[in-house]
C-alpha cells in the first residue's frame, strides 16, 4: 500500500512470480508439529521444471485441545471429548511464512486455516519514531507523516500496510458429480398486527443457474448460507444431501477497479465464484501470472456466463487479510490465523459424533 514508484514491484503473485525452489519447505520436528506427528515428504517442481523432493513437507497428527464435541446438561448429563485430525504444510515466500492446516473433525466438518507469520516487509525512514501529536485549529494542512502508508515497528523502520489473498479451488462432489449451488437467504418477515411478535426471519432458497449469479460476497447485513447440494441423493427426511461453505473472517479488496494490481488479481473481486468444472481451469489468476495481463483466470472464464445448475461445479473461495502491522508483529510476527469451514448439511441422518466414547 505504499504508492512510491520503487515499491510497486512488491505487488506480486507469490505463486508464479516468486517460486524460487518451490514454496513447500521442511517442517521442523517437535516445534512446527507436535511430538506425535507423522511426516511425509513432498515432490515439487523447481523453476527449471525439474522434480525435487522436500523432506518433511507434510505432517499429520491428532490433536485434543480440551474442547467438547457436544454436550447437554440434563438429569443424565452427557459430554464427549473432541479430537481432530490435522494435515499441515507450510510455504516460505521470502520474508513471509504461511502455515496451511486442513483439520478433519469428528462431526464431518473440515476446517481450512491459513496462518501468516515470518517477518513483515519494512522500509527505512529518516524519521526515527512516530509523531501523532494533536494539531491546533487553523494550522493548515499537515505535511504527510513518515508513517502515512505503514507503522513504525522500530526506530527508523516502517512496516508497510499490505494485503494477503489466498484462493482455494474446492471441487466438491456431493453424493456424485452432478450438483447444484444453493443460497439460503435469511430475510425478515413482518408479522400481522394481531401477532404479539412483530417480525421473524425465514429462509428463501435460491438455486443459482449461471456464473454471473455465482459471483458472491459474504454480507452480515444480508446473511445467506452457501451450500453445494446433490441433484439426486436425499437424507432420511427428504432434504438433498449437501455440504455448506461457511466463510470465516475475510477482507474484500479496497483497491479501485482500474488499479492494475487488482486487475491482474481479478479473483479478489468476489469472495466466492462458482464455475462448471473444467480440467484446464485450475488457477484463479490464470496459468501464467508472471507479467500477466489484466483479466486472466476467473474473470476471463466467467465471461461466457456458463450454466452451473445440475452439473459438476467448482467453488473458488478467497481468504483476504488487511494487515496494518503492530509493534507486536516485530521482529517476527505471531501466527495470525484465518479460516473457513466445509460443514455437512443434511448429509448425514444424525450427528455423526454421537458414538464418541464417554
Beta bridge partners of 180: 229
Rounded Cα distance between 249 and 319, Å, is 8
Catalytic residue from among 2, 6, 14, 277:
14
d(CA 271, CA 257): 15
Q: Where are the alpha helices (DSSP H) in the chain?
A: 14-17, 260-264, 298-301
Q: Cα–Cα distance between 293 and 283 in angstroms, integer?
A: 15
Active site residue 239: no
Beta strands in 50-178 (DSSP E): 51-63, 68-72, 78-81, 84-93, 96-104, 110-118, 122-124, 150-154, 157-160, 162-170
Residue 263 grid cell: 486487475
157 Cα distance to chain centroid? 30
Query: Does residue 49 contact residue 56 with C-beta atoms inside 8 Å?
Result: no
- Dist. CA 67–CA 248, nearest whole Å: 20
Whether the CB-CB separation of 236 and 349 falls below 8 Å is answered with yes
Is 96 noted as a catalytic residue in this protein?
yes
Catalytic residue, candidates 39, 96, 107, 259: 96
What distance in Å separates the CA atoms of residue 143 and residue 9, rounded to the nearest whole number? 26
Q: How far apart are CA 164 and CA 162, in angstroms?
A: 7
Catalytic positions are 14, 96
Amino acid at each position: 500500500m505504499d504508492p512510491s514508484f520503487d515499491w510497486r514491484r512488491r505487488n506480486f503473485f507469490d505463486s508464479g512470480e516468486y517460486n524460487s525452489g518451490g514454496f513447500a519447505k521442511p517442517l521442523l520436528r517437535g516445534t512446527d508439529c507436535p511430538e506425535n506427528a507423522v511426516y511425509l515428504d513432498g515432490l515439487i517442481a523447481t523453476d527449471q521444471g525439474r522434480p525435487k523432493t522436500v523432506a518433511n513437507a507434510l505432517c499429520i497428527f491428532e490433536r485434543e485441545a480440551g474442547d467438547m464435541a457436544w454436550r447437554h446438561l440434563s438429569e443424565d448429563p452427557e459430554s464427549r471429548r473432541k479430537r481432530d485430525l490435522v494435515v499441515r504444510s507450510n510455504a516460505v515466500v521470502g520474508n513471509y511464512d504461511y502455515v496451511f492446516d486442513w483439520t478433519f473433525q469428528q462431526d464431518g466438518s473440515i476446517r481450512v486455516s491459513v496462518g501468516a507469520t515470518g517477518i513483515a516487509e519494512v522500509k527505512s525512514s529518516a524519521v526515527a519514531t512516530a509523531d501523532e501529536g494533536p494539531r491546533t485549529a487553523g494550522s493548515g494542512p499537515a505535511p504527510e507523516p513518515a508513517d502515512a502508508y505503514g507503522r513504525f515497528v522500530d526506530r527508523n523502520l516502517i512496516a508497510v500496510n499490505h494485503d494477503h489473498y489466498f484462493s482455494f479451488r474446492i471441487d466438491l462432489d456431493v453424493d456424485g458429480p452432478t450438483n447444484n449451488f444453493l443460497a439460503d437467504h435469511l430475510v425478515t418477515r413482518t408479522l400481522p398486527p394481531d401477532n404479539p411478535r412483530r417480525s421473524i426471519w425465514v429462509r428463501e432458497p435460491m438455486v443459482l443457474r449461471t456464473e454471473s449469479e455465482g459471483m458472491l460476497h459474504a454480507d452480515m447485513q444480508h446473511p445467506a448460507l452457501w451450500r453445494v447440494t446433490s441433484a439426486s441423493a436425499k437424507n432420511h427426511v427428504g432434504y438433498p444431501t449437501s455440504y455448506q461453505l461457511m466463510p470465516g473472517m475475510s477482507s474484500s479488496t479496497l483497491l479501485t477497479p482500474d488499479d492494475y494490481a487488482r486487475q491482474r488479481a481479478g479473483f479478489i473481486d468476489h469472495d466466492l465464484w462458482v464455475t462448471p468444472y473444467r480440467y484446464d481451469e485450475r488457477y484463479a489468476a490464470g496459468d501464467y501470472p508472471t507479467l500477466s495481463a489484466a483479466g486472466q483466470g476467473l474473470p476471463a472464464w466467467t465471461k461466457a456466463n456458463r450454466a452451473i445448475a445440475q452439473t459438476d461445479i467448482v467453488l473458488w473461495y478467497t481468504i483476504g487479510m488487511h494487515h496494518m502491522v503492530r509493534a507486536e508483529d516485530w521482529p517476527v510476527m505471531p501466527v495470525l490465523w484465518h479460516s473457513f469451514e466445509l460443514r455437512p448439511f443434511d448429509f448425514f441422518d444424525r450427528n455423526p459424533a454421537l458414538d464418541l466414547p464417554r
